[in-house]
Amino acid sequence: GGDHTITYPILQALAAKHGPVGLVHVDAHTDTGDTALGEKIYHGSPFRRCVEEGLLDCGRVVQIGIRGSSYDPDPHKYCWEQGFRVVPAEECWMKSLEPLMREVRAQMGDKPMYISFDIDGLDPAYAPGTGTPEIAGLTPAQALEIIRGCKGLNIVGCDLVEVAPMYDVSGNTALLAANLLFEMLCVLPGVKTL
């Protein structure tokens, strides 16, 4: 669905109920920018705003698939300073992410956590229908490994954002997004699967 700004009010509501939550964030970008065109709330800033409001348990934030252009010479510095784990896309190339997800599961523990999945985390060969595509991204199989790797965690919510169907006449981006959302529903606590 909509741009990544939607995650900010969702996390405000979840933190009001559960306290600061962990986060598995799949994206080409860290979305920790400060301002754009003078605005502090935009699709590139939601996680900075969440940090500022104490909505995230920063030691339990993992960002996977990060790559691409940046307006900053050290684009991960802010994230590292907060205690986030940043997993650049090149650390994911041509391998299974099951070992990474075992580490992520241990890091999340049994405390509340949230999954935020930006479709641009995937390579535009698979998901061109997004506003800020970046080459050399994750594959659909790796996306499934990430989502399925969250099964059994204390997931209190999830989203899938930044799908822009008008940029993909084939409809493949929307199809992929719908399947990833289905997979997220299947890993929610208490859901029985075969």
Domains and CATH numbers, the chain: 4-187 (3.40.800.10)
> What CA–CA distance (Å, rounded) separates 99 from 104?
9
Cβ burial, residue 110 (10 Å; 0-12/13-18/19+): exposed
CA dihedral of 176, 79, 40, 137, whole degrees rounded to 10: -20
> What CA–CA distance (Å, rounded) separates 31 from 2?
15
Name the pTM for this structure.
Answer: 0.97
C-beta of residue 56 within 8 angstroms of C-beta of residue 11: yes
Other beta carbons within 10 Å of 192: 5
140 alpha-carbon distance from chain centroid: 14
- What is the pLDDT at residue 68? 86
Q: Is 85 left (phi over 0), alpha (psi -120 to 50) or beta?
A: beta
- What is the pLDDT at residue 1? 64
Residue at token pair 């940043």: 86
User: Buried b / exposed e across 20-57, counting CB within 10 Å, b at 16+?
Assistant: bbbbbbbbbbbbbbeeeeeeeebbbbbbbbbbeeebbb
pLDDT tens digits, one per residue of 145-182:
999 999 999 999 999 999 999 999 999 999 999 999 99
pLDDT tens over the chain, length 194 residues: 689 999 999 999 999 999 999 999 999 999 999 999 999 999 999 999 999 999 999 999 999 999 988 878 888 999 999 999 999 999 999 999 999 999 999 999 999 999 999 999 999 999 999 999 999 999 999 999 999 999 999 999 999 999 999 999 999 999 999 999 999 999 999 999 87
Please, where are the H alpha helices in 43-194? 46-52, 77-82, 98-108, 140-148, 172-186
